[in-house]
Amino acid sequence: MQGETGKFLEMIESARRITVLTGAGMSTESGIPDFRSAGGIWTEDMSRMEAMSLDYFERFPKLFWPKFKELFQIKMTGSFQPNAGHLYLADLERKGKEVRVFTQNIDGLHNKAGSRHVYELHGSIQTAACPKCGTRYGLDHILQAEVPRCCRVNEKGRECGLILKTDVVLFGDAVQHFDTLFESLDQSDLLLVIGTSLEVAPVRFIPEEAHAIPGLKKMMINLDETPYDHLFDLVIHHKIAEFAKLING
């Protein structure tokens, strides 16, 4: 572990611009379960994935919302806190590194930790929008009724009433900020991947894309192996918050 820690610190030290890509493993030590580890949200019940698709939402919007709220209940409470891993990334920025965090997480913890350049690839759980008029609503409104609806009143004095769509990216929806992620990779000295199984497209293509960029170093901190470990200059199989505490001494 000592050798790995030394190499990690060396690579961080020699990088000026760092692109960070995070997944659910980033937040497990904050108390939020991931998707594919034992006890993970999808591992527990595969049919949940089908219900979290655009297709399911469009066909059964009334059934979608109670399922969605049950699955993502913990992320809607806002009662969890960033862990030492989130804080370490925010700290790198304070120490003068140019850090851009691209996260698959919808929990808002990178922002809460103080990272200033956070791109939520899979959207946000904090808001939902009317598919017709685009009016956007916050969590208070989303949680008020079992199935949240648009309450905007039109010129004729009638309430819109359409069922809102969550701003979380569903299976079948387009991932956000992907062009910015590629731009960031091109401009970076280092890619740091943390806590993702790299099983979901298009994010799973990133290690291969990054591998083709000359001069870009690549490091990964992930508890379990991924199919792309061989493409990284350094892979550390460890828990991120524990690791961050270790390097902070």
Q: Which residues are annotated as a binding site for nicotinamide?
A: 35, 106-107
Residue choice 11, 12, 15, 34 for contact with ligand OAD (CB under 6 A): 34
Comparison of 11 and 203: residue with beta carbon closer to ligand OAD? 203
Query: Does 195 participate in binding ligand OAD (rule CB under 6 A)?
Result: yes
Comparison of 160 and 175: residue with beta carbon closer to ligand OAD? 175
The tokens describing 2, both together, are 């000592």
What is the C-alpha separation between 129 and 166, in angstroms, rounded?
Answer: 6
In the complex, minimum distance from the CB of residue 73 to ligand OAD, in angstroms, rounded to a whole number: 14
Comparison of 10 and 199: residue with beta carbon closer to ligand OAD? 199
Query: Does 197 participate in binding ligand OAD (rule CB under 6 A)?
Result: yes
- Residue closest to 203 by CA, chosen among 241, 184, 176: 176
Cβ contacts of residue 3 below 8 Å, gap of 6+?
Answer: none
The tokens describing 243, both together, are 């690791």
Q: What's the sign of the alpha-carbon dihedral 74, 80, 83, 88?
A: positive
Cβ atoms of 10 and 4 within 8 Å: the answer is no
Active site residue 122: yes
Query: Does 30 participate in binding ligand OAD (rule CB under 6 A)?
Result: no
**Pairing outcome for strands 136-138 and 123-129:** antiparallel
Total site size for ligand OAD, rule CB under 6 A: 25
In the complex, minimum distance from the CB of residue 128 to ligand OAD, in angstroms, rounded to a whole number: 14
Query: Does 109 participate in binding ligand OAD (rule CB under 6 A)?
Result: no
Helix (H) or strand (E) segment spanning residue 219: strand 217-221
Residue choice 40, 61, 114, 131 for contact with ligand OAD (CB under 6 A): 40
Query: Does 100 participate in binding ligand OAD (rule CB under 6 A)?
Result: no
Query: Does 45 participate in binding ligand OAD (rule CB under 6 A)?
Result: no
Query: What is the full DSSP assignment across 85-108?
Result: HHHHHHHHHHTT-EEEEEES--S-
Edge-first strand listing for the sheet containing 98-103: 118-120, 98-103, 17-22, 190-194, 217-221, 234-236
Query: Does 55 participate in binding ligand OAD (rule CB under 6 A)?
Result: no
Q: Three-state DSSP class for 23?
A: coil
Residue choice 19, 29, 110, 191 for contact with ligand OAD (CB under 6 A): 29
Catalytic residue among 122, 141, 177, 237: 122
Residue choice 4, 5, 7, 36 for contact with ligand OAD (CB under 6 A): 36
Query: Does 240 participate in binding ligand OAD (rule CB under 6 A)?
Result: yes
Rounded to 5°, the CA angle 195-196-202 comes to: 150
Per CB under 6 A, residues contacting ligand OAD are 23-25, 28-29, 34-37, 40, 104, 122, 168-169, 195-197, 199-200, 221-224, 239-240
Residues labelled as active-site residues: 122
